[in-house]
């Protein structure tokens, strides 16, 4: 017998194993179609093995079909094994001879043994190795040696004598080697498939990230961008591939990019903010997380960056800063208002207390002052012309008594101011009568430009007269060396404005805000209640009051009256 035919059988099994693994893992994805194709492959391989057999005698042949079909059952499953065994059985039946029954039976035994061992492996979660494969092959062919006794006894004994030993050595070895090759092929192709899946998963992940991914080589040439990166800069991904990273940054940022790239060459990963240039030329702020790409030897290959568009974040930060600034301004304004309100409250409390004191002691002070004034008058009438010095002192006492009385009157006036009944007032007549009742000194020239046909306003006439009297008195006092007192009226829509101006010393800007405060004065005499009374009376009559002054040029007070509808 020629045992070298097993070499041809081995080559056939090798080709069959290559085709098998590719069919299972590469070429056919649908399971049903794959099982049918594999069944046909294993069946045809068994048929081809039967065409190059080792012949013991006519009709009694030995080949590698048992190896092929048992491995088919072990590695493929029921449908494939059934198809393969069917094809092989038909072929063996057609060959005929005295070994037909035994040959067909060996086909069924080989396939069934493979399926049985496959089930045992899965049930016990065995890891197939060369030892298990050799044991599997040995057991299968040991069973087949026993099956050979289905031949007539003389043929069976001849088989045992001539075939059994090589059959139990060569075929289990072939089963082990081809099985190991199948396992190695499956592992390799599984690894390739897993790599493909992993790469696809990575690509899908990168392409669906809501963050830009940008890869550049060692020469700063773009090699990959994901769709989000291209979207951030207004490009299509293909438009960015092959372009220098400098095409996407402003020229003034080139030095900074050079420094960052040099850090990458040194193996340094960084996170920093940068500006990138969009396709339309506009700049977009981004957050970059960049790391170097290196080979297994540490050679620099390029850079990989994760890019986040932070323009909305920057805008939100700017808006937050603006809101914070505005809030601080509001807080400062409210704090200032509160301080002013507190100051006004304190002043009001002081003035209330002062009013109570003035009201309680005013009469007590007026009586002594009246006695003093009367005494001075009597003394002056009793003096002779030679008593000039005494007369001068009496005049001083009279003047100071008058001033003290005026202070008391101001205090009482401030404490007594109350809302009163309003009526229609002709301001033109009121001011003319006031000028006639309280004429100004001769050194002051009066220019009265108030129209004689002014519409009447609704106010308290006595309080309005006191307002104008105080303003005119202050204007005259501001011009100790003489000057010009101006009175002017202007009508705008539903408002009548009357200005009282002087050409006096003026008021410094630092004092403008204080002149209406009670007890504030820059005069040598008085306690600073004149303008405070004026403001309080104006407020009670809904009269606006404005002041404009320049040191050395004079002051203008303007009263704004609302005209009745």
Euclidean distance between CA atoms 246 and 222, whole angstroms: 10
CATH architecture of 419-562: 2-Layer Sandwich (3.30)
pLDDT band per the 50, 70, 90 thresholds, residue 189: low
Total-model pTM: 0.42
Q: Are 270 and 290 in contact (CB under 8 A)?
A: yes
pLDDT in tens, 174-186: 888 878 877 777 7
CA 29 from chain centre, in angstroms, equals 46
**525 Rama class: left (phi>0) / alpha (psi -120 to 50) / beta:** beta
pLDDT bucket at 560, cuts 50 / 70 / 90: very high
Q: How confident is the model at residue 96 (pLDDT cuts 50, 70, 90)?
A: confident
Which of 237, 228, 184 has its CA nearest to residue 208?
228
Task: Strand 222-225: give its sheet, edge to edge.
Answer: 222-225, 212-217, 300-309, 283-294, 270-277
Q: CB neighbours of 273 closer than 8 A, spacing ≥ 6?
A: 285, 286, 287, 288, 310
pLDDT digits (tens, 9 = 90+) for 265-322: 888 898 888 889 999 989 999 988 899 988 888 889 999 998 888 888 888 888 888 8
User: What pLDDT score was predicted for residue 3?
Assistant: 43
Asked if residues 158 and 56 have their Cβ atoms less than 8 Å apart, the reply is yes
Nearest Cα neighbor of 411 from 323, 504, 559, 527 is 527
CA-CA distance, 160 to 154, in Å (whole number)?
10
Comparing 17-31, 80-94, 340-354, 462-476, the range with the smallest average pLDDT is: 17-31
pLDDT at 34 over 60: yes
pLDDT at 102: 86
Per-residue pLDDT at 25: 46
Would the pLDDT of 107 be above 50?
A: yes
For the segment 55-69, the average pLDDT, to the nearest whole number, is 75
Domain-wise residue ranges, the chain: 5-200, 209-309, 315-415, 419-562
Contact indicator for 234, 280 with CB cutoff of 8 Å:
yes
- The average confidence (pLDDT) of the chain is 81
| Assigned fold of 5-200 | Arp2/3 complex 21 kDa subunit ARPC3 (1.10.1760)
Selected residue with higher pLDDT from 487 and 564: 487
Residue 352's pLDDT is what?
64
The mean pLDDT value for 153-163 works out to: 80
Q: Give the pLDDT mean for 411-428.
A: 75
Residue 468 sits at the vertex; the CA angle it makes with 464 and 471, to the nearest 5 degrees, is: 140
Q: How far is CA 546 from CA 25, 217, 494, 500, in A?
A: 96, 74, 17, 10
The DSSP line for 31-72 is HHHHHHHHHHHHHHHHHHHHHSPEEEETTEEE-THHHHHHHH
Task: Quote the pLDDT of residue 4.
Answer: 46
How would residue 361 be classed by pLDDT, with cut points 50, 70 and 90? low
Give the per-residue pLDDT at 490. Answer: 92
Topology, domain 209-309: Beta-Lactamase (3.30.450)
For 349, half-sphere exposure in the C-beta direction (CA atoms, 13 angstrom radius) is 5
Within 10 angstroms of residue 297's Cβ, the number of other Cβ atoms is 5
Which of 521, 542, 534, 518 is closest to 345 using CA atoms?
518
Quote the pLDDT of residue 91.
87
Q: How confident is the model at residue 512 (pLDDT cuts 50, 70, 90)?
A: confident
Would you tell me which CATH number, out of the four given (3.40.1350, 1.10.3470, 1.10.1240, 1.10.287), belongs to the domain 315-415? 1.10.287
pLDDT class of 2 with cuts at 50, 70, 90: very low
Is the pLDDT score of 70 beyond 90? no
Alpha helices in 96-249 (DSSP H): 100-124, 130-147, 153-162, 164-208, 227-233, 237-240
- For the stretch 364-379, pLDDT in tens is 666 777 777 777 777 7
Angle at 267 between CA 262 and CA 270, to 5 degrees: 75
SS3 state at 277:
strand
């Amino acid at each position: 017998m020629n045992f070298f035919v097993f070499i041809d059988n081995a080559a056939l099994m090798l080709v069959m194993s290559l085709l098998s693994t590719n069919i299972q893992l590469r070429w056919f994805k649908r399971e049903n179609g794959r099982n049918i194709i594999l069944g046909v492959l294993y069946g045809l391989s068994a048929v081809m093995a039967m065409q190059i057999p080792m012949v013991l005698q006519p009709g009694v042949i030995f080949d590698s079909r048992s190896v092929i079909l048992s491995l088919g059952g072990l590695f493929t499953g029921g449908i494939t094994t059934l198809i393969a065994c069917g094809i092989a059985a038909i072929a063996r039946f057609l060959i005929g001879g005295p070994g037909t029954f035994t040959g067909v039976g060996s086909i069924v035994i080989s396939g069934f043994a493979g399926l049985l061992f496959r089930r045992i492996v899965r049930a016990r979660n065995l890891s197939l190795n060369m030892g298990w494969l050799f044991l599997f092959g040995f057991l299968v062919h040991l069973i087949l040696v026993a099956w050979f006794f289905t031949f007539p006894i003389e043929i069976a004994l001849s088989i045992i004598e001539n075939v059994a030993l090589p059959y139990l050595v060569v075929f289990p070895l072939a089963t082990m080697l081809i099985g190991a090759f199948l396992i190695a092929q499956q592992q390799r192709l599984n690894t390739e498939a897993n790599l493909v899946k992993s790469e696809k998963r990575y690509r899908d992940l990168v392409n669906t990230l809501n963050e830009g991914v940008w890869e550049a080589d060692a020469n700063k040439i773009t090699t990959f961008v994901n769709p989000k990166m291209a979207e951030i800069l207004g490009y299509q991904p293909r438009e960015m591939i092959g372009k220098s990273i400098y095409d996407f940054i402003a020229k003034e940022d080139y030095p900074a990019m050079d420094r960052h790239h040099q850090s990458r060459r040194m193996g340094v990963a960084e996170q920093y903010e940068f500006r990138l240039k969009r396709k339309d030329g506009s700049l977009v702020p981004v957050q970059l997380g960049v790391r170097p790409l290196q080979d297994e030897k540490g050679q620099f290959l390029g850079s990989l960056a994760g890019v986040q568009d932070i323009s909305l974040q920057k805008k939100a930060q700017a808006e937050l800063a603006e809101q914070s600034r505005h809030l601080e301004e509001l807080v400062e304004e409210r704090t200032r208002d509160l301080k002013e309100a507190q100051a006004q409250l304190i002043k009001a409390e002081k003035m209330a207390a002062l009013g109570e004191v003035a009201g309680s002691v005013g009469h007590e002070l007026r009586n002594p002052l009246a006695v003093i004034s009367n005494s001075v008058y009597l003394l002056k009438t009793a003096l002779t012309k030679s008593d000039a010095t005494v007369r001068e002192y009496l005049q001083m006492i009279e003047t100071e008594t008058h001033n003290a009385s005026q202070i008391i009157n101001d205090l009482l006036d401030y404490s007594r101011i109350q809302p009163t009944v309003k009526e229609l007032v002709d301001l033109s007549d009121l001011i003319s009568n006031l000028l006639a009742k309280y004429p100004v000194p001769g050194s002051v020239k009066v220019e009265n430009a108030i129209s004689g046909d002014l519409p009447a306003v609704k106010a308290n006439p006595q309080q309005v007269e006191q307002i104008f009297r105080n303003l005119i008195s202050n204007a005259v006092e501001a011009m100790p060396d003489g000057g010009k007192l101006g009175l002017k009226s202007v009508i705008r829509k539903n408002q009548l404005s009357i200005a009282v101006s002087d050409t006096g010393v003026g008021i410094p800007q630092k004092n403008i805000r204080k002149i209406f405060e009670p007890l504030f004065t820059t005069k040598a005499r008085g306690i600073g209640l004149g303008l405070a009374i004026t403001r309080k009376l104006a407020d009670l009559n809904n009269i606006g009051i404005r002041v404009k002054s320049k040191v050395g040029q004079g002051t203008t007070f303007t009263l704004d009256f609302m005209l009745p509808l």
